[in-house]
A = this chain, B = another copy of it.
């Protein structure tokens, strides 16, 4: 398959859906709607919504079936970046080559804009129940899946441990916690969101969960590698910031070579998990290589 074409097509679908679902720029109070749209349309790759769509497709459904919840996942991701960039957190001035939300709209607006996006995400999940054939009980399950993936036992927990581990000599288990939670939890939740909304049976759900878990780790380790050897111009953000902050990362603990080997191994495992879906898992397989080889 032409994966780049596939990815462009699906992320364009997400792009249009986000534009349709988010409150308009002119809606009162316009500053928060401008702020939300500024960060949502700042050039994200839409990995999480596309993952939900891929899971739906692996089960024989179309993107539309899961679109509101898929967009919700992108909003959760975007809110986390806005809060992460705040002066009291990572204090980043640029994100994807553009000034961060608080640099443009002020700190107070950035906090509230993030809060608004996180809240609106759950409104969108609820809206998925209005689509034909979607079972309300499954929408409730998705609310729980996303809340768990995003909360203190998921993404937020990962960020907390990331912060309290700075400037400390932490070991493998703590690094593993950060990796599986900070990025991994929402990646896994994205796959499960698509699967549950398409009435996946227990066996399919288990296979997709394993896929999602490995994918999350691949994503994070590649991120860490890029922070060491990436190209600032392509990345759109500073390289070497992890080292400067003495953050513990996969490369800092095991070196670049072993990190790359670990990525290879995880890729094999992720692919094996979705083999039973046959040709319908084509995109899920291609994504693994895409994430492995990405440079931004």
- Interface residues in chain A, defined as those with a beta carbon under 8 Å from any beta carbon in chain B: 23, 28-29, 31-33, 36, 79-80, 83, 86-89, 106-109, 111-112, 114-116, 118-120, 122-123, 125-127, 129, 135-137, 139-141, 143-144, 146-148, 150-153, 156-157, 159-161, 163-164, 177
- Contact check, B89 vs A111: say whether CB atoms are below 8 A apart: yes
Scoring A87, A118, A160 by chain B CB atoms within 10 A of each residue's CB, the highest score goes to A160
- Contact check, A156 vs B126: say whether CB atoms are below 8 A apart: no
Task: Name the contact of A122 in the complex, choosing from B111, B122, B137, B164 (C-beta under 8 A).
Answer: B122
Whether A32 touches B147, Cβ cut-off 8 Å, given contacts A108-B88, A108-B89, is no
In whole angstroms, what is the CA distance A116 to B136 when docked? 25
Minimum C-beta distance from A45 to chain B (A): 23
- Contact check, A126 vs B111: say whether CB atoms are below 8 A apart: no
Which B residues touch A29, using CB under 8 A? 152, 157, 160-161, 164
In whole angstroms, what is the CA distance A32 to B152 when docked? 7
Closest 7 CB pairs of A and B: A88-B107, A123-B147, A119-B151, A126-B144, A116-B152, A136-B137, A126-B143
Which B residues touch A148, using CB under 8 A? 123
In whole angstroms, what is the CA distance A79 to B83 when docked? 14
Minimum C-beta distance from A247 to chain B (A): 14
Which B residues touch A150, using CB under 8 A? 119
Task: Name the contact of A23 in the complex, choosing from B79, B120, B152 (C-beta under 8 A).
Answer: B152
Q: Could you show 30 A-B contacts with beta carbons less than 8 Å apart?
A: A23-B152, A29-B161, A31-B160, A32-B152, A32-B160, A79-B115, A83-B111, A86-B108, A88-B106, A88-B107, A88-B108, A89-B108, A89-B111, A108-B163, A112-B156, A115-B115, A115-B118, A116-B151, A118-B118, A118-B119, A119-B152, A120-B147, A122-B122, A123-B147, A123-B151, A126-B144, A126-B147, A127-B144, A135-B136, A140-B143
